[in-house]
Structure 1
Amino acid sequence: MPRTISLSIFDNGAKPAHWAIFIPTGDQGLRGKIIHRNYDFLSETRIYHILPLAQVSEQYVRDTVGNGRESIDTIARDRMESVAVVVPAPGRSLNPFDPTALNCQSWIFHYVQRLSVEGLVSSDASLVLQSAPRVLRK
């Protein structure tokens, strides 16, 4: 059975929006994981938007409880997390307001591209990213 992975977009003030990949526990609701941590949108105070990004085979996803507690675990528990650990993180930007600086959005593009290359998601997921908001505000 396919699972839905989504792009989560969070308000980040005047800076580019924070992007993350969200996989709901049991393929429904607002609890699950953001690659790489446990997450519960019900406790989120920032403005956010969730866009369905792609379908992935359930064999590549291991559910979490989605209780929002920060995980100190750094071990990849499923294929989605395994791919994420090989995509280099952009590091801290010297100018977080620079729209051309590498940030979480560029990391998401590289991550989704790698998922596509490895055959886990359709290349159509890149189209969703291209049309996603770069800034999210009240």
Structure 2
Amino acid sequence: MPRPVYLIIYHSPIFAAHWALWIPSYEEEVIGKTGKIINVQGSPSEGFAHEFERNYDLASETRRHSVKLLSLVDSKNIIDTTGDYSTDNTAIDILESSALTIKAPGPSLRSAEEHGVKTRVELKNCQTWLRQFVSKLVENGTFSKDALVELDNAPKN
């Protein structure tokens, strides 16, 4: 049975929006219920780390956000958990294992006090990482090609 996977966008008027994958639990495949988030957390100055948020209640989220359907995924690729909200970086299913194969961005900002040749910095963040992750899922056939179009059209702030 196919399962929906969404892009959740946490909007920001000043900074880049935080992007993450949102997968509702099988029993509650309705936006606004519990499920899991696959993302990287951090900042361009400090770097990012993989994070799986389990039993996440999207309905209780107070940050401004929106969701977009990215793809339908075969349910064999997703394992749900029960219990209280928790975070970790240990993969329990194929999607999470695939996420760990895409390196979380390291620091990509330089100090203003840094000396030497000044070159343009390629800023890397959660959006950069998620695009690489979704590209891999499209390449291996887990996601439809439309997922990349949805990402390209998603709000960046």
TM-score bracket, normalised by the shorter chain, equals: 0.7 to 0.9
Unaligned runs of 5+ in 2: 39-51, 111-121
Give the conservation status (yes or no) of the 8 Å contact 1:25–1:66: no
Q: Distance in 2 between matches of 1:94 and 1:87?
A: 20
Task: Note closer, same or farther for the CA distance 1:101–1:66 as it changes in structure 2 (3 Å cut).
Answer: farther
Q: Superposition RMSD on alpha carbons, in Å?
A: 1.9
* Structure 1 residue 119, shift from structure 2 partner: 1.3
Larger Rg: 2
Q: Tell me what 2:117 maps to.
A: none
| Residue type of the alignment partner of 2:31 | G
Q: Does 1:119 align with 2:141?
A: yes
* Structure 1 residue 104, shift from structure 2 partner: 0.4
Q: Tell me what 1:32 maps to.
A: 35
Q: Distance in 2 between matches of 1:53 and 1:110?
A: 14
Map of 1:11-22 to 2, 5 A cutoff?
Answer: 11-22=11-22
Higher strand share: 2
Q: Distance in 2 between matches of 1:21 and 1:93?
A: 23
Q: Distance in 1 between matches of 2:156 and 2:8?
A: 12
Q: Deviations over 1:49-103 (max 9, x none)?
A: 0100001100001113485x2324x3211110010000011124427xxxx5111
Would you say how many aligned residue pairs link Structure 1 and Structure 2? 130
Q: Tell me what 2:152 maps to.
A: 130
TM-score, normalised by the number of residues in structure 1: 0.85
* Structure 1 residue 11, shift from structure 2 partner: 2.0
Unaligned runs of 5+ in 1: none
Q: Distance in 2 between matches of 1:77 and 1:42?
A: 24
| Residue type of the alignment partner of 1:109 | R
Q: Tell me what 2:116 maps to.
A: none
Give the conservation status (yes or no) of the 8 Å contact 1:40–1:66: no
Q: Distance in 1 between matches of 2:127 and 2:145?
A: 17
Task: Note closer, same or farther for the CA distance 1:2–1:10 as it changes in structure 2 (3 Å cut).
Answer: same
Q: Distance in 2 between matches of 1:108 and 1:91?
A: 14
Q: Tell me what 1:79 maps to.
A: 94
* Structure 1 residue 129, shift from structure 2 partner: 0.3
Task: Provide the identity percentage.
Answer: 38
Map of 1:60-75 to 2, 5 A cutoff?
Answer: 60-65=77-82, 67=84, 69-72=85-88, 74-75=89-90
Map of 1:88-127 to 2, 5 A cutoff?
Answer: 88-94=103-109, 101-127=123-149
Q: Distance in 2 between matches of 1:66 and 1:24?
A: 14
